[in-house]
Amino acid sequence: MKTPCEVNRSNRKRSPDAPGLRLGAAQVRSLRVRTVAGLVLGVLLVGATACEKPESPAARHAQDPEALKRGKSLFVGTCGAYCHGLQPGHRDAPYLFDCDWKHGGRDEEIFRTIRAGVPNTRMQAFADRMPEGDDDLWKIVAFIRSRSDCS
Amino acid sequence: MIRWHGWIAWALMAGLAAPLGCSPDSGTKDRTAGGPASDANATGSATGTATEAPTMVEMLDELPPLPTHWIADPPVAAGAPPVDDAMLRDPFADRSRWLHYVGDHRGHRHSPITSLTKKNVAKLQVVWAMPTGTQQQFEVSPIVYGGVMYVSTSYNRILALDVKTGAILWRYDHPLPADMKPCCGPVNRGVSIAGDTILMATLDARLLALDRRSGAILWNTEIFDYAKGYSATSAPFVYASAAGTLAVVGVAGGEYGIRGFFDAYDVATGKRVWRHFTIPTAGEPGIETWAGKSYETGGAPAWTQGAYDAETDTLFWTTGNPAPDFNGDERAGDNLYSNALLAVDAKTGARKWHFQFTPHDVWDYDGNTQIYLVEVELDGKKIPAIAQANRNGYFYLIDRRDGKFLRATQYVEQMNWATIGADGRPVLNAGVAPTEEPDQRVCPGNMGGMNGAWSGSYDPARQLSFIPTIEACQHFMKGIAVYSEGAPFMAGTPDTIDAAAGKAYGHVSAVDVATGEIRWRAKERFPLMAGAVSTAGGLVFTGNLEGEALALDADTGEVLWRFRMGGGVRSQPIVFELGGRPYLAIGSGSWATTDAFLAGLDRIPEGGHLFVFALPES
């Protein structure tokens, strides 16, 4: 069995969008130096943060049918209406069940995105908006995970 | 410390620390936020120099902002007089004009022109075309006056075009906030005209007045705070009353838990003359139809157009769904005045009477499809009435003197949610309410039937109403209702099972308004979501989602002409004459989201295009 850490990493099909920049030669050299340093740092950070907490509250909710049911009803009620569809296809907002994440695919990142929203988009912050607060957001994360097809 | 900060930023940029996720600013268009690159440059990195080529972010910062407004200088059509009250009342006295979204104050969308006939209609040819430059659905009904065609597009762009050549005369692109709150796409259905003023209601809930001759902005007023879930998508409805020439505009937002209303503005000044709330507040009659405090977020938007009866100085307006859409548990009661027809004093906005089509709606059956003022003979008596093909699948006839229910007949082919009792109240069939695990196929689906997003037409001589119709039944899935200001408040979602199974289809149906019977149906492979216009020459024009403009025989429904414009048709066609030569204008360009949602059709690219046709010059 995979650890939650491994599950989360394998769920990530591609990296988040990096800002698209066209760089001059000097910057490319500069980039190379900084990239190596960044690589080291990035790996260190990944190791430190991704595996620090073996289980998110979503992983716990994933074992609880009642929690998943509530997560689904919350999703259907607010997220899934006209924005994020339950089926793939053209919708007004990204399809969330294909493990292809724009703002990070770890439980904590999904939670944070729902909580804080996405600036300059119609994705608003849902911190303190659900009847049972953060716990409801974790149930939504658990429901998304339970329904996701990462193949 | 600063150096380290830069390194972290570069690691993020290189995507190497991807599991950390994007910083809150990444992937956004906020040019003012200090990006990682500029941060590193400013502090002098290990190899950085002052002569480094600018980054794309910096280059974008140096570009001048894109223009959004092109004024006509000198002004155009200056020789045409201001559009006065007489013109607004009798818009077809001059057939070179199309002045109202719904054709005239009676809402008929029926032109008296006879130069276009069943015999010559197949000779229509394109005289000019114009791209909108915008994606998603292009739902406009153009306005034609003084040799100029005024066209609005998705994202609130206005194009003023030479009606004969299509040459662009002025243009305005309304700046819209990224967090605007449209229900269903960045749609606008048209501008209106009065005096020397072009009026447009916007997705960020503003009402704008522009000089019809130059495009200069005359006034720009906020209807309501858009961030709370309000928007406006329809052309304002313009009429002259004792209170002056007024523009009435209602708000959308039934999916955001707004408190609906429609407003009348003085066209000359932009000052609001009255506001009519579509949901009562504490102490007002009708409040007993909402459990608890549910009226505070009850929706009942007023996002379409109305009709005006000058004889009684009455404005008729209609309302949409109660909120949340698909879960009525917390709003027990009829939820007045959602899904209703309202008669108000045109001067003051005071309500005279109401009729509610779908009390306590949980299917999103907005009661605000187009209304037609008609004269019918029932049981030997002539009655001034209002006819409407409601989104719930029934064609209603209501006495327009007092709101009395006269008759409802089914105009969709598939119907199972309710029958209509003798008092006009629906009697629900078992198992049609949304559930968490729905297995009952409910007809019509949440979009109709017909939908307020497009117009039908009414031919008074034939007493036929032409209704572009969706047949796409659904499962209605219920969710938990959580109101969060500015977020969708729908508490469920429709599952368009027919579209997914390739079973969704459409038709134009001709309803005999005197009897309620279906005279003919013209079937289409996919649901119809475009408006219609009919002519005294016996023609009906509309378009289909496959991208064809269509001309039908008004007496038989036979398709007499088709033209492949390309994009799915979601617009409201108009007809007019220039020097006796008949013209047809119709927009092409749909939104893949609704096409897929309702029709299972998502392969046609988006992008609006206006086509103008005419008969060859003789």
Check CB contact of A53 with chain B, cutoff 8 Å. Answer: no
Tens-place pLDDT, residues A48-57: 454 555 689 9
**Contacts for B179 with CB less than 8 Å, ≥ 6 apart:** A120, A121, A122, A124, B227, B486
Q: Are residues B511 and B561 in the same domain?
A: yes
Quick one: B429 and B546 in the same domain? yes
- Which residues on adjacent β-strands are paired with residue B59? none
B42 with B154, same domain: the answer is no
Residue contact A78–B484, C-beta within 8 A: yes
| Alpha carbon distances (Å) from B269 to B166, B209, B255 | 31, 9, 31
Of all residues in chain B, the one with the smallest CA distance to A73 is B479
**What is the model's pLDDT at position A29?**
52
pLDDT score for B65: 73
Q: Does one domain contain both B419 and B351?
A: yes
Q: What is the CA radius of gyration of chain B?
A: 25
pLDDT of residue A92: 79
Q: Would you state the structure tokens that stand for residue B529, as one six-digit string?
A: 């979501």
Distance CA(A41)–CA(B471), nearest Å, equals 58
The burial class, CB within 10 Å (0-12 / 13-18 / 19+), for B356 is buried
Distance, in Å, from the CA atom of A85 to the CA atom of A93, rounded to the nearest integer, reads: 8
Does B57 share its domain with B169?
no
Instruction: Name the residue among A14, A27, A47, A35 with its Cα closest to residue B9.
Output: A35
Q: Is A139 on the interface with B (CB under 8 A)?
A: no
Confidence of residue B8 (pLDDT cuts 50, 70, 90): very low
Are the beta carbons of B179 and A122 separated by less than 8 Å? yes
User: pLDDT tens digits for A30-88?
Assistant: 545 555 555 555 444 444 454 555 689 999 999 999 999 999 999 999 998 888 988 88
d(CA B159, CA B70): 10
Rounding to the nearest 10 degrees, give the CA dihedral for residues B179, B183, B188, B189: -170
Q: What is the pLDDT of residue B17?
A: 33
Give every CB contact of residue B362 below 8 A, 6+ residues apart in sequence. B325, B326, B327, B328, B433, B434, B476, B478
Question: B207 and B125, same structural domain?
Answer: yes
pLDDT at B62 over 90: no
Cβ under 8 Å to B: A residues 72-111: 72-78, 80-83, 85-87, 89-92, 102-104, 106, 109
In chain A, the number of structural domains is 1
DSSP per position, B354-419: EEESSTT-SS---S-S-EEEEEEEETTEEEEEEEEE-TTSEEEEEETTT--EEEEEE-SS---SEE
Q: How far is CA A134 from CA A54, A108, B481, B534, in A?
A: 19, 12, 17, 56
Which residues of B are identified as catalytic?
A: 364
Is the confidence at residue B510, as pLDDT, over 50?
A: yes
Q: A90 vs B593: CB contact, 8 Å cut-off?
A: yes
Mean pLDDT, all residues of chain A: 76
- A78-89 burial, b at 16+ Cβ within 10 Å, e below that, comes to bbbbbbbbbeee
Shared-domain flag, residues B245 and B348: yes
Interface contact flag, B13 A18, Cβ < 8 Å:
yes
Q: Do A77 and B479 touch (CB under 8 A)?
A: yes
pLDDT in tens, B557-614: 999 999 999 999 999 999 999 999 999 999 999 999 999 999 999 899 999 999 999 9
3-state SS of chain B: helix, strand, coil percent to 5?
10, 35, 55
- The residue among B41, B62, B83 that closes a domain is B62
A147 shares contact with chain B (CB less than 8 Å): no
- Amino acid at residue number B493: T
Q: B33 to chain A, minimum CA–CA distance in Å?
A: 12
Q: What is the CATH number of the domain that holds A9?
A: 1.10.760.10
Judge whether residue B3 has pLDDT over 80. Answer: no
Of the listed ranges B66-70, B165-169, B290-294, B546-550, the least confidently predicted one is B66-70
Q: What is the CATH classification number for the domain harbouring B387?
A: 2.140.10.10
Q: Looking at the structure, tell me whether residues B233 and B260 fall in a common domain.
A: yes
Domain that holds residue B6: 2-62
Residue B304 has pLDDT above 90, yes or no: yes
Please determine, for residue A145, whether its predicted confidence score (pLDDT) is greater than 80. yes
Nearest-angstrom CA–CA distance, B511 and B464: 5
Query: Are residue B148 and residue B292 in the same domain, yes or no?
Result: yes
Length of chain A: 151
Beta bridge partners of B125: B614
Please state the ipTM of this predicted complex: 0.82
Q: How far is A1 from chain B (nearest CA, A)?
A: 21
Residues B228 and B283 occupy one common structural domain: yes
pLDDT category at A16 given cuts 50, 70, 90 is very low
Total domains in chain B come to: 2
HEC sequence for B526-586: CCCCCCCEEECCCEEEEECCCCEEEEEECCCCCEEEEEECCCCCCCCCEEEEECCEEEEEE
Is there a contact between B204 and A122 (Cβ–Cβ < 8 Å)?
no
Q: Are B49 and B81 part of one and the same domain?
A: no
- Final residue belonging to a domain, choices B33, B62, B91: B62
Domain span holding position A69: 1-151
Note whether B442 and B508 are same-domain residues: yes
pLDDT for the residue A35: 53
